[in-house]
Structure formats: structure tokens, C-alpha cells
Amino acid sequence: MPAAFRPDFDLIVVGAGHNALITAAYAAKAGLKVAVFERRHIVGGAVSTEELVPGYRFDYGGSAHILIRLTPVVQELELTRYGLHYLELDPMFHASGGETPWFMWRDAGRTADELDNLFPGQGAAYTRFLNDWTPFAESVAELFMSAPGPLEMGKMAVSSGKGGDAGARLRRILRPYGEVAKEYFSEERVRAPLNWMAAQSGPPPTDPISAPFLLWHSLYHKGGVARPKGGSGGLTRALARAIEAHGGQIFTSAPVKDILVTGGRAQGIRLESGELYTARAVVSGTHILTTAAALPDEYVPAAAREVRVGNGFGLILRLALSQQVKYRAEHEPAHFHKNSRVGLGLLIKNERQLMKGYGEYLAGEPTTDPPLIAMTFSAVDDSLAPPGGEVLWLWAQYYPYELASGNWETRTAEARENVLSAFEHYAPGTRENIVGELVQTPLWLEQNLGLHRGNVMHLEMTIDQMFAFRPWLEASQYRWPGVRGLYLTGASTHPGGGIMGASGRTAARVIISDLTRRGWK
């Protein structure tokens, strides 16, 4: 770096998603002069919340905070000091095919007891499943908290469990999660919701080497499920306050056009407005393809353009309702209706419904009868809706970005109707209470949240793009190869999508070690 170079900042952060903000917060806390540049008018990326209908606050993306609870991020950054207040969800999940609903409580024993009452033998199977795979899940969580190496699968197999055959465990890890679920649970009404939750990472139950998406389940009982008071954006608003409290600056409505590279070193950014800002280092928290597009062509390796983004993933229908959701379960006790609105509703009729939806997706068609994740968090947070009202968010899979016929401008109404009709199987009459809505198609997600081709995970969550292969091998240590001083964070990096913050924390660790003498503390 030339002796005359006087940068504006130590670290420029491109994008204000939750991982990028976590990196910025750690860097600012370590004494670095930090600036965050975000193209939208608010921080948070897909972890943000706004009042889109008068009196109703809608999340734009992720809503259930699960994975971040397995990390030390909230405690280390002291986010409660900056306004973050988590509301516990218990029950964590409400599982139903339309009849005989059951709950997953934070207390695994209570969950197992209620399962045995409803489906004899399945509670014992649930306990065995948790006992068999909790050590594995804890090993995965530990691996998620550090820069990845090439031998993770073997490490997980060796460390996952006390005694037993590591080879047999590894064989199970390499299998489709649908098959592993069948080994434990004979009752489809138990098995299908567990498979549906596992499918939230993307791969269907038949994909090889997908078992970890199911085997992770035991950690829900360890970390629990929670919601920030005021919406999912409560997390990112607290992060922004923490950054500013440590002297950092945040610029919104400030889209970055170019990452400036001189002599193989990142030296700053150019905004779309033409303004230039310089720094000792730059970290990009945007989609890997967005980062690549901001760089001079000669610094973009072929591997960066060859990452597999996929063809869409899910669709979200967000509704403002004038009345609370009422599930059809007249034979259930009075507390059922309150409990069913608290946690995430895993609404799936049977395993065929999920596979049928995936088949339609492969054919380039929106799912006609989707399984759903139903979220009515106004049951625990009265700031999300006016008295007596409700927010209802319905996540559905699978929806292609590229359609075999038509386009999303002409087919959004059809997809929206199918999602609503699917929910009315569980809660008839819901449509009569709609007072406002937002439909987030794969195209909407790309245009508004920068999620290329509508994939909320950035890149496909398959073994060829996990651990040391995310986003690709040479870039897996949170550094852009061939450009000194350019770092990466976000869902395009290990460990991938979801509200966890592990990528942001690990990227910060790398950056702070490189830029400060005292390194990571």
C-alpha cells in the first residue's frame, strides 16, 4: 500500500444483512474504524421488519431465530444493551396434517410423553432419535463456528456419539433424510413434519447426503426457538446500534457499484452515485454473484461464476388479518388454539405432498398444493398487530424462479391462491379476514432483497457447496482469492443460510487478526 494512502476507514462493509452487521459490530468493538454501506433504506437485508399495512409489522425474510441461539454472538456483542429482547416460543412447533395435531415443546420429555399418548411408541422413538443424534448435532454446531477445513464429514462421524460404530454413523449421515426418518418413526403423522422441517434447507427427502438436515433437529430442544420483540429486524436494529455505539457509521440508500482494486489490493468502494470511499480492507456480505459483479473482471475467477444458485426455492405469503387464526380442531381443549398460534406450524398432509410439490418444481411449475410453515407471532408479540388482529406468514415450497410457462408477473395471483387454499385446509375462513398482504415470489426476493434467482440460501445447500466448498474451495476461508484485503461473509459462505451469524463472527475473527496487532480476543 503506498505510504501516502490515507484511507477513510479501516474496514468498509458492503451490505447490511445480519452477517455483515455482525462482522461490522465485532470489528468496531475491536477498535477499527468501520463503515457499512447498504443499498436499501433500512438495515437487515432478509432480517428486517417494517409496518407495511397500517398497524401491522411484517418481516421481510427469516422470522424464527433458532441457530443464532447456539452461538455466543448475542452475549459477546451485548445486544440486549442495544434493545434486543427475545421472546421464547414454547411450544416451538405445532405439527398437523389437518387432524391429530401435536406439539414440539422445548422440554423433549414433555414432547415424547405427548407423542406416546397420541401415537403409541412414537414418543419412545423420538427419545431414541434425540439420544442417538444429539452428539452429532453438537459436533456440527461446533464446526459451524469456525473456518471450514476439508475433512468435516469424517470429523462429525468420529465425534458424533459415545461408543458405537463410527462407520455406521457415517453411512447414515450419507443417506437421504427421508430414509433416516423412516428408520425411527413408523407413524407418518410424526415423520412428515420432521421431514418438512428438514426440507427448509432446500434438498428434498430423497437426496443423498442430506441426513444432517434432519439430524440437526435435536438442537431445537437445546437452543429453543425465539422471536425478537417488534419483529425479526429487532436483531439487526440492535446490531446497528452496537456498531454506532463503538464509533461505526452506517449509510443506507447507498448502493455500492464497484469494489476498487489497485495492484491486487482492495482499497475501497464506488457508490452508484459516484462517491468514493477508501479503506484498509473491504468485506462483502452480499450474494457472491453480487460481489463478483462489483469487481474488475480480471479479479473474478471462473469458480466465482460457476457457483450453483439453483432455480428458486420458496414463496412467502404475508397476511394482515382482522381476527386471530382459528385452526379447525373443535375436539381439542381450549388452550389448543393459543398454543397452535405460538410456535411454527409444520402443516403437511403427508410425505407425498412434499414430493409432489418437488416434482412440480422440477417440471418448472409452482406447487399447486404446498406444505406450509405457518407463523402467527402476534400470539406472543402484541406489537405486530392491532388488538384482535393477527399477522400470518405462510412459507411454501417449492417454487421455481424460471417457470416452464408464463412468468411471475402473470402467475403470482395463481400461486398466492394455492397457498391460501392450502392453509384453509387447516383454518377455514381465514381469507375473509384479510386486510392487507405481501406476496414474495422468487422474482420479488431477487429484485427486493438481492437474493439471486430467489434462493434464500444464496447457493444450493448441497454437499458440493458446503463446508470448505462454500462458496468454492479457494474462497472458503472468508478471503477473496487474488485480492488482498477483500473478505467475505454472509449466506454465500460457510455455514450457509439461516439466522445464525456464525459466518459474520468467523469473518470478523479473520479480519481482526489481519488488521490489528492484538488480534481476536
The SS3 call for residue 107 is coil
Mean pLDDT over the full length of the chain = 94
pLDDT band for 164, please (50, 70, 90 cuts).
low
pLDDT for 171 equals: 84
Strands 372-375 and 344-347 come out as antiparallel
pLDDT band for 170, please (50, 70, 90 cuts).
confident
pLDDT for 110 equals: 97
Q: What are phi and psi of 224, to 5 degrees?
A: 75, 180
Q: What CATH number is given to the structural domain containing 483?
A: 3.50.50.60
Residue 487: pLDDT above 50?
yes
Can you give the residue range of the structural domain that contains 189?
112-220
Q: Are residues 285 and 343 in the same domain?
A: no
pLDDT for 167 equals: 74
Q: Are residues 435 and 314 in the same domain?
A: yes
Tell me the C-alpha distance between 165 and 157, whole Å.
9
- What DSSP string describes 261-315? EETTEEEEEEETTS-EEEEEEEEE-S-HHHHHHHS-GGG--HHHHS----S-EEE
Q: Are residues 331 and 379 in the same domain?
A: yes
Within-domain flag for 60: no
Cell of 285: 456480505
pTM beyond 0.85:
yes
| Per-residue pLDDT reduced to its tens digit, 110-122 | 999 999 999 999 9
Last residue of a domain, which of 220, 241, 262? 220
Residue 520: pLDDT above 80?
no
Among 96-100, 380-384, 439-443, 476-480, the minimum mean pLDDT is found in 96-100
pLDDT for 517 equals: 78
pLDDT band for 168, please (50, 70, 90 cuts).
confident
pLDDT band for 210, please (50, 70, 90 cuts).
very high
Tell me the C-alpha distance between 80 and 82, whole Å.
5
Q: Are residues 167 and 129 in the same domain?
A: yes
Q: Are residues 324 and 428 in the same domain?
A: yes
* 307 within 8 A of 465, measured Cβ to Cβ: yes
Highest mean pLDDT among 132-136, 160-164, 359-363: 359-363
Nearest to 342 by CA among 384, 374, 379, 373: 379
pLDDT for 154 equals: 57
Q: Are residues 289 and 328 in the same domain?
A: no
Q: Are residues 410 and 329 in the same domain?
A: yes
Q: Number of structural domains, the chain?
A: 3
Strands 249-251 and 34-37 come out as parallel
Residue 23: pLDDT above 90?
yes
Within-domain flag for 171: yes
Tell me the C-alpha distance between 279 and 250, whole Å.
15
Last residue of a domain, which of 413, 438, 453? 453
Within-domain flag for 57: no
Q: Are residues 298 and 189 in the same domain?
A: no
